[in-house]
Amino acid sequence: MQPLDDILAKWLLLLGMVDARKEKVYTEIYEELEELAMKDENLIDAFGTWEELSQTPETRFAYEMRLKAIIDDEARLSDAKDKGIELGEERGIEIGIELGKEEGIELGVQKVALEMLAANVDMNMIQQFTGLTLEQIHQLQEK
């Protein structure tokens, strides 16, 4: 097994490259991991976070504030997206109901016209009472 091909070995190297007691960073391990990190998304994230948190207290505070701002922005965007979806769904339901009513009225008018045709009512009379065109009445009659 190649230690640099094994994810657990990579993590152990990442954790072991710093000797906190001696305040020393093993640069050869650091450089090797930096190269490996460019190929591994998890290591890229961990490496970046480690570098950011290794800065001065002021830099760390600035990082935390920036991270908080990013998280807040993501939450606002998520809320806005959810609200937009909710409004879109409500509007879609309203449009669907309206279209359903119109279709229901149209089907009702057609039913009346068919019943009038079955009762041998004059087509001009059917047109007058239903508002359908003579062409629409002829199409209904052919069905």
Number of structural domains found in the chain: 2
Structural domain containing residue 31: 1-54
Angle at 81 between CA 79 and CA 82, to 5 degrees: 65
pLDDT for position 21: 52
Task: Look at residue 62 and tell me if it is in a domain.
Answer: no
Which of these three, 54, 73, 94, is where a domain ends?
A: 54
Rounded Cα–Cα distance for residues 55 and 125 (Å): 89
Task: Look at residue 15 and tell me if it is in a domain.
Answer: yes
The distance of Cα 97 from the centroid of its chain, to the nearest Å, equals: 26
Rounded Cα–Cα distance for residues 23 and 61 (Å): 21
Task: Look at residue 68 and tell me if it is in a domain.
Answer: no
Cβ neighbours of 66 (radius 10 Å): 11
Bigger pLDDT: 83 vs 11: 83
pLDDT for position 125: 94
Residues 45-80 have pLDDT tens digits of 766 776 666 666 776 677 678 878 888 888 999 999
If DSSP codes are grouped into helix, strand and coil, which group holds residue 24?
strand
Task: Look at residue 83 and tell me if it is in a domain.
Answer: no
Kindly state the percentage of the chain with pLDDT values over 70: 62
Task: Look at residue 42 and tell me if it is in a domain.
Answer: yes
Task: Look at residue 93 and tell me if it is in a domain.
Answer: no
Average pLDDT score over the chain: 78
pLDDT for position 108: 93
- Confidence band of 23 (pLDDT split at 50, 70, 90): low
- Confidence band of 39 (pLDDT split at 50, 70, 90): low
